[in-house]
A = this chain, B = another copy of it.
Amino acid sequence: MSTQHTSRDFDAELRELRANLLAMGARCERSVQLAIRAFVEDSPSLAREVIELDRRINRDEMECDELALRIIALRQPVAFDLRLITTALKLVTDLERIGDEAVNIAERAEETEGEVHRLPSDILARMAELAEGMLRDSLDAFVESDIERANRVRRADDAVDKLYGEALSQMMDWMAAHPDKIPAAVRAMSVAKYLERIADHATNIAEEVIFMVEGQDVRHRTNAPKPLPM
């Protein structure tokens, strides 16, 4: 193998894979933003935009998978490079599911019957903002093999879980006081749950990154070189 030439091609392919993942991640982030606005602002047109965007995200998943497989098949990477690419395969699944959760939020937005769901909207907006930041950080952690940042994502997940608990208990009190509004309250609880799951997916990504960077020391003790600088 002409290593000089091959390694330059290989670097270009890895750059492409990373860029595709980041682009997909940015679309997921935008989708979450649109979805929560659709719900809080009661906007069917924003909801439709989310559903439209999800088609693109599904295509992104197929393209990233295909590129990752092509790189494995053609370059036959080992050690850290192989782990990088198989991590990418796993991340893509989490990203695609974040897109699905945004669609779930958008679908609840389409069912709303007026104001009722706005009650916990400040909590929902805060959860969405945290989840979007976690998503961004988890992908940056991947691109930079940055364990520090990945750990920050895990800590943020605790904050999201706490907000989720608050949203639930607000909604439960509120249902008890307004039994006629239970369907609307249940919708708001569902949205809180979807946001909590988006944060979980970002946390999964962060954990995959930690394993990617540290994993070979723990699990592949033989012939594991240090991670390459990316």
Q: Majority SS of interface residues in chain A?
A: helix
Instruction: Report B-chain residues with C-beta under 8 Å of the C-beta of A90.
Output: 89-90, 93
The answer to whether B182 touches A168 (Cβ under 8 A) is: no
Complex CA–CA separation, A210 to B66 (angstroms):
15
Q: Classify chain A's interface size.
A: 20 to 34
- In the complex, A179 has a CB within 8 A of chain B: yes
Complex CA–CA separation, A66 to B224 (angstroms):
13
The answer to whether B186 touches A182 (Cβ under 8 A) is: no
- In the complex, A82 has a CB within 8 A of chain B: yes
**Surface stretch bound by B, among A72-80, A106-114, A152-160:** A72-80
- In the complex, A27 has a CB within 8 A of chain B: no
The answer to whether B180 touches A168 (Cβ under 8 A) is: no
> For window 56-82 of chain A, which residues contact chain B by CB distance below 8 Å?
62, 65-66, 68-70, 72-73, 76, 78-79, 82
Complex CA–CA separation, A16 to B68 (angstroms):
24
Instruction: Report B-chain residues with C-beta under 8 Å of the C-beta of A189.
Output: 186
